[in-house]
Amino acid sequence: TNHTVEVSPSISCNYYSGNINIPATVTSGGTTYHVVSLGERAFYRATLSSVSIPSSVSQIKSRCFLFATGLTSITIPASVTEIGELVFAAYGMTSINVAADNPNFVSVGGILFNRDTTTVVECPMGKNGTITLPQSTRHIAADAFAYCQAITGVTIPDGLLFIGESA
C-alpha cells in the first residue's frame, strides 16, 4: 500500500519558522508515509527564511504561504502538478521559481505561469514596479495579482481573453 501525508498547519499559527526542509517521507508507528501535499494555510503567517519542497510533493493547496514573512523566493519542483489560489501571497516574496523540467508550470520574471505561458497563475505579493505579460498570455487567473500593492502597472497583450475575479 502507498501511504501518503500532507503538511498541515500547526495549532499555533507561528509554529513553523526559520529554514524549513520538508522531508520526502516520514515514518510513524513503523509505517512510512510519502509527503505529497502542502496543505491549505500550512505556513500561514509563519516566519520563514527558506523552504525546501521535496520532489514527492505534487500539490500545493490554496493559501499555503498566506501572509508568511521572511521568504523572498521559493522553487517549485518538477513533481508539482496542482497549485491552488493565493499560495504565494507572502510578505516580501518577490520571485516564484520553477524547476526547468516541470511539465506544468514555468516562471517568467518571477511570476508563475502555466507551462505554455497562456495563463498567469500567480504573481508573488512582494513584486514591485511595472510588469509586461508575455504576448502568449490569454488568461489571468482569479487572485493572480491579489495583494500585489507595489505593482505600479501591468502591460497586457492584445490577445488577452479573460481576467479572473479579484485578479
Q: What is the mean pLDDT of the chain?
A: 93
Alpha carbon separation from 39 to 5, 43, 83, 94 (Å, rounded) = 10, 9, 11, 22
pLDDT of amino acid 17: 84
pLDDT at residue 138 greater than cutoff 70: yes
Residue type, 84: G
The 10 Å CB-count burial string (b at 16+, else e) for 71-101 is bebbebbebbeebbbbbbbbbebbbbebbee
For 17-61, write each residue's pLDDT tens digit.
889 999 999 999 999 999 999 999 999 989 999 999 999 999 999
Provide the pLDDT confidence category of residue 10 given band limits of 50, 70 and 90. Answer: low
* pTM as predicted: 0.93
Nearest to 125, CA basis, from 75, 86, 152:
86
Half-sphere exposure (CA, 13 Å, Cβ side) for 23? Answer: 8
DSSP-assigned beta bridge partners for residue 120: 113, 140
For 101-115, write each residue's pLDDT tens digit.
999 999 999 999 999
pLDDT of amino acid 53: 97
